[in-house]
Structure 1
Amino acid sequence: VRMVSDSLERQNLQIQTLADATDDDVERFQNYGFTSVPPEGSEAIVLAVGGRRDGLVAIAVEDKRCRPKGLSPGDVRLYHRDGKSHITLKENGVIEITGEQLDVSGTTVNLTADELLNIIGKQMKFVGPCEFTEDVTINGKSFSNHIHK
């Protein structure tokens, strides 16, 4: 892959096909719900529709230079080429999300745990009003039942 045009209805690639041949406007088919922009130097599998070289379509594109390795059988990973962010679906319903920064936004955001919700960090910051509908324990002491004399 030499160049990617991501502004069209279907992504187009410029690819090197033969030792000295370059093909432009090669349509890249992607699976529904998933899209990516492959970096220059990625490899593509192309088909010549009807056996015609003027009808090339890319059906798979990969950059083996940055593909994550060492996953367990059955694991699925969505990743960025810089290696700093990824989502991994693992065995037994485990989902790992890793990144330099994780932004979650919405009109309402709900985190629900049937048993335990752990939030671990060097520092926590809450901006805006907070409402607790149950007692809060601070340094082992009940906030609701603690009385200052």
Structure 2
Amino acid sequence: MIRHLEQRVQHLVKSGTISNTIKTQGTIPTCQVSTFQNQEVHNDRPMYGHWGFTSVPPTGSQCMTLSGYGLNNNKFIFSTHDINTHPQNLKEGEVKVYDSKKQGIYLQEGTSINIDANNIIRITVNGKEVVSVKEGSVYVQGNLLVSNGASGTFSDQSGKVITVQSGIITNIS
């Protein structure tokens, strides 16, 4: 009896490795997880996360598993971590959402929001791209409305330079 209880306690929480591609076709992502240095392999284990966030960790990521009642046959994954892609040197209170290609949204404590993209940053509303940033240029698809008027120098497609102060065109050359 005591040996049986000891085994259930041993199986309650385990670290493991995601050992194949995560399946995301169903309502709950599932994957294969290896525990006890690949001595145990569990197929189609559900992977739970926080509501409103979803991710597909790379194969080989570490994970933590929980087995209800300590039974090894009803294991699920509740936490994942990949040492190769995890951002480092964040300060207390900072947040970074990131992917395996080093792209991310970084909320720096009290200073800025940084968006890192490998190619294009797109803002889409109702399935339609409204703003994109590529190679240092900002593209706006639609009308640009500035509440207090814009100031600056702009070039049109023909090369004319337009000077605007507080929303009023003051010079075209």
TM-score, structure 1 normalization: 0.75
- Compared with structure 1, are the counterparts of its residues 125 and 31 closer, same or farther at alpha carbon in structure 2 (3 Å cutoff)? closer
User: Which deviations, in whole Å up to 9, do the C-alpha atoms of 1:49-84 show, x marking residues without a partner?
Assistant: 11100010111011112111111121111001121x
Deviation of 1:96 (Å) = 1.2
Q: Which runs of 5+ in 2 are unaligned?
A: 1-17, 154-160
Q: Which runs of 5+ in 1 are unaligned?
A: 112-118
Q: Which amino acid aligns with 1:61?
A: T
**Separation in 1 of the partners of 2:145 and 2:75?**
58
Q: 1:144 is paired with a residue of what secondary structure?
A: strand
**Separation in 2 of the partners of 1:135 and 1:13?**
52
- Compared with structure 1, are the counterparts of its residues 127 and 45 closer, same or farther at alpha carbon in structure 2 (3 Å cutoff)? closer
Find the counterpart in structure 2 of residue 114 from structure 1: none
Contact kept? 1:44, 1:59, Cα under 8 Å: yes
Find the counterpart in structure 1 of residue 43 from structure 2: 24
Find the counterpart in structure 2 of residue 104 from structure 1: 123
Match of residue 6, structure 1, among 5, 10, 24: 24
Find the counterpart in structure 1 of residue 169 from structure 2: 144
Matched, 1:88 2:82: no
Deviation of 1:99 (Å) = 0.7
User: Which deviations, in whole Å up to 9, do the C-alpha atoms of 1:75-122 show, x marking residues without a partner?
Assistant: 111001121x111111115211111210111158999xxxxxxx9x75
Q: Which amino acid aligns with 2:19?
A: R
- The 5 A counterparts of 1:107-122 are 122=136
**Separation in 1 of the partners of 2:112 and 2:57?**
28
**Separation in 1 of the partners of 2:46 and 2:138?**
47
Find the counterpart in structure 1 of residue 33 from structure 2: 15
Match of residue 65, structure 1, among 75, 81, 84: 84
Match of residue 53, structure 1, among 58, 72, 77: 72
Matched, 1:40 2:59: yes
User: Could you say what the CA RMSD is over the residues aligned between the two structures, in angstroms?
Assistant: 3.3
Contact kept? 2:32, 2:43, Cα under 8 Å: yes
Match of residue 74, structure 1, among 89, 93, 110: 93
Q: Which amino acid aligns with 2:70?
A: G
- Compared with structure 1, are the counterparts of its residues 28 and 145 closer, same or farther at alpha carbon in structure 2 (3 Å cutoff)? closer
Q: Percent identity?
A: 19
Q: Give the number of the structure whose residues are more often strand, by fraction.
A: 2
Aligned length: 139
**Separation in 1 of the partners of 2:94 and 2:66?**
29
TM-score, structure 2 normalization: 0.66
